[in-house]
């Protein structure tokens, strides 16, 4: 008989949603969230940030410097809210780049109205990561497109 183990923890606001799946015998699963927190069977929580979190932070800082330098060269200045959202997105991209976590499916048709210039800038940034899918550039291009409206 297979055991039922925790599969995924999804966080929506302050409420936690938990899904379960059958795990093959002998397989183990350690649930972690983006901050490296691990929940153990007895309910204790340990922080397991380790090397992956360090790599993610270093990559995020490097990429943020490149992104803001790229925008500055193009005279694109995001406002404070746009800067906060862009920073959060680039940090999430760094996390996905290091962890290999995939994006949910993205519909390309949602980005048809994004200018070629914004898409090109986003593709340049995604290419610097080296291992992210094209869909990342679609999402990132929205930040550039919105910030261009500040001019």
Domain residue ranges of the chain, discontinuous segments joined by +: 3-48, 51-148
From the options 3.40.50.2300, 2.60.40.420, 1.10.1790.10, 3.40.718.10, give the CATH code of 51-148: 1.10.1790.10
Q: What pLDDT is stored for residue 75 in this prediction?
A: 94
CB 50 within 8 A of CB 36: yes
Cα dihedral value 61, 62, 68, 69, nearest 10: 150
By three-state DSSP, how is residue 19 classified?
Answer: strand
Rg of the chain, C-alpha, whole Å: 19
Q: What pLDDT is stored for residue 5 in this prediction?
A: 44
Structure tokens, 43: 């309910």
Per-residue tens of pLDDT for the chain, all 151 residues: 444 444 444 444 333 444 444 545 555 555 555 555 554 444 544 455 578 889 999 999 999 999 999 999 999 999 999 999 999 999 999 999 999 999 999 999 999 999 999 999 999 999 999 999 999 999 999 999 999 988 6
pTM of the model: 0.67
């Amino acid at each position: 008989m297979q055991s039922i183990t925790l599969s995924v923890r999804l966080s929506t606001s302050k409420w936690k949603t938990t899904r379960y799946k059958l795990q093959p015998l002998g397989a183990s699963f350690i649930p972690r969230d983006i901050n490296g927190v691990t929940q153990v069977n007895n309910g204790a929580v340990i922080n397991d940030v380790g090397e992956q979190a360090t790599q993610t932070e270093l990559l995020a800082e490097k990429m943020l410097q490149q992104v803001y330098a790229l925008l500055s060269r193009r005279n694109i200045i995001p406002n404070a809210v746009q800067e906060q959202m862009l920073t959060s997105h680039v940090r999430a991209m760094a996390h996905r780049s290091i962890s290999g976590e995939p994006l949910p499916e993205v519909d390309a048709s949602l980005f048809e109205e994004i200018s070629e210039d914004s898409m090109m800038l986003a593709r340049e940034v995604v290419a610097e990561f080296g291992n992210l899918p094209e869909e990342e550039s679609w999402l990132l291009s929205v930040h550039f497109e919105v910030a261009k409206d500040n001019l």
